[in-house]
Amino acid sequence: MGIGGDLEPGTLLAAYRQGLFPMPSRDALRRRRLAWFSPVSRGVLPLDGLVVSRSLRRSLRRYTVERDGRFSDVMRQCADPARPGAWIDDEFVAAYTRLHELGWAHSFEALDEDGQLVGGLYGVRIHRFFAGEAMFHHATDASKVALVHLVEWLRATDAELLDVQWVTPHLASLGVVEIERSDYLTRLHAAVRDR
């Protein structure tokens, strides 16, 4: 873990290219500081390994999914302070919204039949690499439906690596696997290289 730096677009993109991602941290003096992580073991979702259960297949018909229509709204829902471990603050929303405006960050939004945002996710794309940052849902399977659409988009656009940072039981049920940092960095450097 590293400490310091800023959330400027160039800093963020350089960090992702090196296998780092930011999160705020509080030090012993309770000051909020920016921390950069590169876990020893990394969670990735193989693009041919997404597990779509029967119930998730049914849910795919329940929602309409859009891309990049409500980026800031998705981030703010992911930032809900009532959620356990919430860490996304206004500074992060502003920084990633700027990345979105520059074409580097993307969101997938699951909408119910009334057009209400009920689930979604966002992350950063660099060439054939996508760093999934956070997801949320207010309706059954809504975030999973957004994930299915993300994977379909990545497959259709020649992506190679979908990073989800850490493996959780929930993500493992969707096909996320853990790989060592050295393997991750090899795959990352190939995926972020411009052809």
pTM above 0.85, yes or no: yes
What per-residue confidence (pLDDT) applies to 32?
66
Which H or E run contains 95?
helix 90-101
Q: Report yes or no: 135 and 162 within 8 Å, Cβ to Cβ.
A: no
pLDDT in tens for each of the 195 residues of the chain?
A: 567 788 999 999 999 999 999 987 755 445 567 889 999 999 999 999 999 999 999 999 999 999 999 999 999 999 876 665 567 888 999 999 999 999 999 999 999 999 999 999 999 999 999 999 999 999 999 999 999 999 999 999 999 999 999 899 989 999 999 999 999 999 999 999 986
**Domains defined along the chain, listed by start:** 41-192 (3.40.630.70)
Backbone φ, ψ for residue 143 (5° rounding): -70, -35
Q: Report yes or no: 100 and 80 within 8 Å, Cβ to Cβ.
A: no
